[in-house]
Amino acid sequence: MPGRVTIAQIAEEVGVSAMTVSNVLNGKPGASEETRRRVTQVAERLGYQPNVSARNLKGGRTGLIGVIALDLTNQYGLEIVRGIAEELASVEREMLINATYQDAAREKDRVEFLARGLVDGVLMVAPVLEDQTVTFLQQAALPCVIIDPRKLDVPLPRVSVDNYQGMRKGTQHLIDLGHTRIGYICGEPDMDSTSIRCSGYRDALRLAGLEVDERLVASCDFSYACGFRTATTMIEGFAPTAIIAGADLIALGAIDAARAEGLDVPSEFSVVGFDDLPQAAQSFPGLTTVRQPLHDMGQTGARALLSLIDGQQLLMDRLILPTELVVRNSTAAPAADSRRSQRR
């Protein structure tokens, strides 16, 4: 007897995402009339039937997955949530989304609220995760997966990326172009990923026989404004020929700081980011960056959580996804007569 037709099968045949199919079948807006027609035709031809009983009755489940995100106003969090939504739509689950905006008390309150039987499990995106919240999650009968944890040794299943190799690749790219005075604007110091990326930057320089100039290392929050201010100070005071940043928004601020100092990017100044947000490809010039697979992080976290909900044991508590260097137009060899590099 053939298996039940799934949303994922319909999506593959139509050539759209599982989330689009789910929206069409549930009467939600957002798809064109042509897409709605094709989805409906394929669903009818394949004999699709909603899996309502299995989703809602098996083990007393709700069919809902809680998502607690640090911030839903930036592309970083939105790309991860989009990956979560895609994966959950393919298995006909719905999300209940909360944003905490770095408020630890609100975060703990949301976790305790969702643990009252409202959801089958929780995904937390870049959470603050104070000790009390971690203890509650460990003791609660609520499956939970952390995506991009601030502390990588948090005693819960978690998904992160290879921050070290990513930053090494980005720094090595600038070294290969001929840069020797490479500034690094790292992210927020309370995140383990910040120190790991810094190690990748430092090791790339050392392995190339270059000295690490501590004046060219600065911390910054993950914002355009902080990137602009910090890059301006670095360029005016210590004359790097390139900057690599711990986030794309910092890098975009650094590009505009270089321009404000009268430097052309990339012929007179190079910039590398870290994230590969949609803005990276849309900026001018296109931002060379280290790609975090944000969408895949969301999907991987969702798959891991669904496995826990089904009573399966994960092969490992920490899932590490690879990063990738994406070369665009914000990097080039340093100018031959870079007088700025003589200012030390």
SS3 205: helix
Q: How confident is residue 13, by pLDDT bands cut at 50, 70 and 90?
A: confident
- Return the domain boundaries, the chain: 56-161+295-321, 163-292+326-342
Per-residue pLDDT of 182-227, as tens digits, reads: 999 999 888 999 999 999 999 999 999 999 999 999 999 999 999 9
Q: How confident is residue 24, by pLDDT bands cut at 50, 70 and 90?
A: confident
Contact partners, residue 190, CB within 8 Å, separation at least 6: 150
The amino acid at 67:
V
Question: By mean pLDDT, which of 40-49, 105-114, 243-252 is the weakest?
Answer: 40-49
Please, are residues 299 and 83 in contact by the beta-carbon 8 Å criterion?
yes
Residue 88, classified by CB atoms within 10 Å of its CB into exposed (0-12), middle (13-18) or buried (19+), is buried
The rounded distance, in Å, linking the Cα atoms of 249 and 263 is 19
pLDDT at 57: 42
Higher pLDDT, 278 or 40: 278
Residue 339 reports pLDDT greater than 80: no
The amino acid at 140:
A
Same fold, 56-161+295-321 and 163-292+326-342: yes
pLDDT at 53: 44
The amino acid at 338:
S
- Determine if the peptide bond prior to 143 is cis (ω within 30°): no
Question: By mean pLDDT, which of 2-6, 84-88, 238-242 is the weakest?
Answer: 2-6
Residue 74 reports pLDDT greater than 80: yes
Residue 150 reports pLDDT greater than 70: yes
The rounded distance, in Å, linking the Cα atoms of 161 and 153 is 14
Residue 241 reports pLDDT greater than 50: yes
The amino acid at 317:
D
pLDDT at 306: 96
pLDDT at 337: 60
Please, are residues 167 and 197 in contact by the beta-carbon 8 Å criterion?
yes
The rounded distance, in Å, linking the Cα atoms of 283 and 269 is 16
For residue 275, the cross-strand partners are 291
Homologous superfamily (CATH) for 56-161+295-321: Response regulator (3.40.50.2300)
Assign 3-class secondary structure to 56-102.
HHHHHCCCEEEEEECCCCCHHHHHHHHHHHHHHHHCCCEEEEEECCC
Q: How many CA atoms lie within 13 A of 48 on its CB side?
A: 20
Fold classification of 163-292+326-342 is Rossmann fold (3.40.50)
Residue 9 reports pLDDT greater than 70: yes
Element (DSSP H or E) covering residue 184? strand 182-186
For residue 274, the cross-strand partners are 290
- Determine if the peptide bond prior to 293 is cis (ω within 30°): no
Contact partners, residue 231, CB within 8 Å, separation at least 6: 183, 185, 243, 253, 254, 257, 258
pLDDT at 14: 87
Per-residue pLDDT of 155-182, as tens digits, reads: 999 999 999 999 999 999 999 999 999 9
Average of per-residue pLDDT across 3-21: 81
CA distances from 331 to 172, 243, 259, 264 (A): 12, 10, 14, 11
The rounded distance, in Å, linking the Cα atoms of 21 and 6 is 10
Q: How confident is residue 59, by pLDDT bands cut at 50, 70 and 90?
A: low
Average of per-residue pLDDT across 87-112: 93
The rounded distance, in Å, linking the Cα atoms of 58 and 55 is 6
pLDDT at 341: 46
Per-residue pLDDT of 262-282, as tens digits, reads: 999 999 999 999 999 999 999
The rounded distance, in Å, linking the Cα atoms of 116 and 158 is 22
In eight-state DSSP terms, residue 339 is G
The amino acid at 106:
R
